[in-house]
Amino acid sequence: MSRAALSWSIAGLLAAVLLPWYGLEDGLGSGAWIAGLWSSEDAASGLAQSIFFGRWWLAPTLAASLGCLVVSLLPLAPARRGTGLLIAGGGGVVLFAAQAFAVGLRGWNAGWLLSLLGEMEQRQVGIGAGATIVLIALLSLVSIGLALRGAFGGDAFVAGAMTTVTASILLFTAWPILHILAQAFQDQDGALRPLLIVDRLAESKIWSLRCLAGSGGCGVVWNTLFLALCCGVGSTVLGLSFALIATRTSFGFKKILRVLTVLPIITPPFVIGLALILLFGRSGLVNQLLDWSFGVQPTRWIYGFPGVLLAQLFAFTPVAFLVLIGVVEGVSPTLEEASQTLRANRWDTFVTISLPLMRPGLANAFLVGFIESIADFGNPIVLGGNFGVLSTEIYFAVVGAQLDYGRAAALALLLLVLALGAFFLQRRIVGTRSYATISGKGDSGLATPLPDAARRVAHWIALPWAGFTLLLYGFILMGGLVKVWGRDYTPTLDHYAKAFSIEFSEGGVIWSGAAWNSFWTTVELAAIAAPITAALGLLAAWLMVRQRFAGRGALEFATMLSFAVPGTVIGVAYVFAFNVPPLEITGTALIIVLCFVFRNMTVGLRAGVAAMSQIDRSLDEASATLRGRAPQTLFYVVMPLLRPAIVGALVYGFVRAVTTVSAVVFLVTAEYDLATTYIILRVINGDYGLAIAYSCALIVLMLAVILLIQFLVGDRRLGRRALPVQGVRA
């Protein structure tokens, strides 16, 4: 660790001397900055900025980096060296943050600093490569100092992982969200008025209970809560049914069933709503058929609570399935065999042994479904009708005629309260009991087949839903193969040709289709974001399950902040936070990737927590006994047992990056246009055929990526035998 401390100290100082401190318009690739490293104010290094260009506020941070180097070179005991690194490195981080937020494009960012120190001539733009490396070096030195002081068992890897996860969540989740939520307590001029939030939330439209008396609709809070409860329970039941059929029955079409299960998650959100309207809308095929056959007058029942709930169940059941599949597979057959040895039948074993061991997965699946529902925007905006929810109210407050960011922030705070309530309910249900069933004691046997009653219930729930899914996607596919759905059903491939045409010339292939630019940009950014999303989420899960530290609950809830807040708020929050120094990344691909990562990492976290709760700590202890360090235990012992969670995190990270709409609608630019924003523009222009054709192409792409991820990650093997589960009757 002393050598690591010395290396990071040298790296930080070299970055402060040899790299531009502030961001460059042309980036580092041009190399033009080298000539101006000491002579150009725009390209100067941190040391040159503080000495030659009057930015004296950088000097304390550089001095802290130099102090870390001195501590690393001195012959000190480990504990004393750790104390010195904590003081110098931690002080450097504090000084870095203080100067970064204190000085901006117009000088001092705070009025009290202006009053205290007077007007300043110098300005400060967003940080560049030099400042970034200095900050990373200081954070690394803090983690090494913690390890030398004995924190986290003296393991530098664990300390570094904790520092990385905490710092990234604070910077890219907590900071932008709290930045915009603070506006709930500010007036239009930015003045602080804490009581203003009471006026913004004291509206009958938010809290009304007139629906109970039959004299009107309920407030959006009660609509949101009731919808989320129904969606959480429904998606968990459906996901469990699919997981049980896939792992505990001899059903002959499991692979097809798995594909149908994940289809909705790889579909742009408004496409399911559009398909439901084509089927059940006032002019939909079902209503037309009922009118023609039985004289039943068409109704608008699909618009409102039933339609939104149906669309959300389609959208979020795959998430519950991805969380639960690994949990169901992880239930140890040894315990079930022990129960049957004591003369319990298969039904009693399933109810008293198997289901209780699945409790962490069920609670996490419900939590994800609940939070997904309250943050969902696409389905309520398409199918909500007069059924208002908080996410649509926030959207209209941001982009509507009222343009009231304060009201949007106040409503977003309500969403966080609902998410916090679900979070503590989940923690209470799971409790502090042990659910470990995967240990290092060899082959635990074959999974016990489901009892007949449970198998029939799972079939009755899952198979009709799978058939309905197949029907729905059949209509989606047909929508891209006819000229105008509802008016002209002439078969055509014109929509696909317009979107994805290719021309060949002497210079090579020309991607002449109108959709190619957004398609390749989406694939590239999603491919970058997905592995980062999965790695960060699973690393956070490992820390929260396997490590004990102060503030664990607060960190766990902080990871859900961006997941619980509607995407519209996330997009606006990122624009507000990262459009000005110290991080000026608005309009770049980086801000889109960061939004993908920290918006979607929660599912990987919850899947990892659920799966890791079943892995006995004795495996970690056995690895430590054999002198395996924390990274070796994580990569060679724990990770192979987390393959279902890894697949779920990778799939969700890639798919949501491709299909997200509301979170990136404010972040895309002409250079970095995405598939979903392109499709939305086609829908607004009434070009439904092209929109559906593009959506079908995305579905095919994501199915291929899912199969590739499954192939690369592989299956988890918990036993040496691989016999198929037989449908033995009790």
Identify which has the larger pLDDT, 4 or 253.
Answer: 4
- pLDDT tens for 393-404 read 887 887 766 677
Tens of pLDDT, residue by residue over 239-293, are 999 999 988 888 878 878 777 777 777 777 667 877 787 778 776 777 777 777 7
Domain boundary among 149, 167, 187: 149
* Together in a domain, 281 and 353: yes
520 in the same domain as 502: yes
Last-in-domain residue among 125, 149, 173: 149
pLDDT value at residue 594: 95
Would you state the pLDDT for residue 531?
94
List the end-to-end C-alpha distance of the chain, in Å, as a whole number: 59
Q: Is residue 59 part of a domain?
A: yes
**Within-domain flag for 410:** yes
Range(s) of the domain holding residue 265: 225-432+454-479
Find, among 126, 180, 181, 101, the residue nearest to 573 by Cα: 180
Which band of pLDDT confidence, cut at 50, 70 and 90, is reported for residue 433? low
* 40, part of any domain: yes
| Residue at which a domain ends, from 101, 125, 149 | 149
Query: How far is CA 598 from each of CA 478, 529, 539, 542, 573, rounded to the nearest angstrom?
Result: 35, 9, 13, 17, 13
CATH number for the domain harbouring residue 273: 1.10.3720.10
407: confidence class by pLDDT, cuts 50, 70, 90: confident
Confidence (pLDDT) at 441: 53
Is 525 or 343 the better-scoring residue by pLDDT? 525
Contact between 104 and 580 under an 8 Å Cβ cutoff? The reply is yes
Q: Taking a C-beta distance cutoff of 8 angstroms, is the pair 72, 9 a contact? A: yes
The answer on 659 and 564 residing in a single domain is yes
| 406-441 exposure pattern, b = at least 16 Cβ within 10 A, e = fewer | bbbbbbbbbbbebbeebbeebeeebeeeebbbbbee
- What is the average pLDDT across 87-91? 96
Residue 725 included in any domain: no
Residues 653 and 686 in one domain: yes
Q: Hey, which of 65-79, 499-513, 546-560 has the most confident mean pLDDT?
A: 65-79
Q: Are 495 and 573 contained in the same domain?
A: yes
β partners of residue 104:
107
Mean pLDDT, residues 422-440 taken together: 63
**More confident site: 717 or 233:** 233
Residue 616 pLDDT exceeds 60: yes
What pLDDT sits at residue 725? 47
Percent of the chain with pLDDT over 90: 30
Evaluate the omega torsion of the peptide bond into residue 268 and state whether it is cis, within 30 degrees of 0. Answer: no
380 and 520 assigned to the same domain? no
376 with 492, same domain?
no
- Say if 333 falls within a structural domain: yes
Whether 214 is in a domain gets the answer no
Q: Do 475 and 552 fall within a single domain?
A: no
DSSP assigned state of 438:
B
Please indicate, yes or no, whether residues 558 and 584 belong to a single structural domain of this protein: yes
Look at residue 64 in the predicted model and tell me its pLDDT: 96
Domain count, the chain: 3
Of 66, 38, 63, nearest to 53 by C-alpha is 38
Q: Which range among 151-165, 421-435, 650-664 has the greatest average pLDDT?
A: 151-165
pLDDT reported for residue 274: 74
> Does residue 564 sit within a domain?
yes
List residues bridging with 484 in a β-sheet.
Answer: 488
Inform me whether the pLDDT recorded for 367 exceeds 60: yes
**pTM, rounded to two decimals:** 0.80
DSSP states of 609-621 = HHHHTTB-THHHH
Same domain, 59 and 122: yes
Q: What's the mean pLDDT in 53-57?
A: 91
Element (DSSP H or E) covering residue 504: strand 503-505
Is residue 616 one of the residues assigned to a domain? Answer: yes
Mean pLDDT of 209-230: 85
702 shares a domain with 592: yes
Give every CB contact of residue 709 below 8 A, 6+ residues apart in sequence.
647, 650, 651, 654
∠ at Cα 234 (229, 235), nearest 5°? 105
The two structure tokens encoding residue 300: 């608008």
Same-domain status, 544 and 424: no
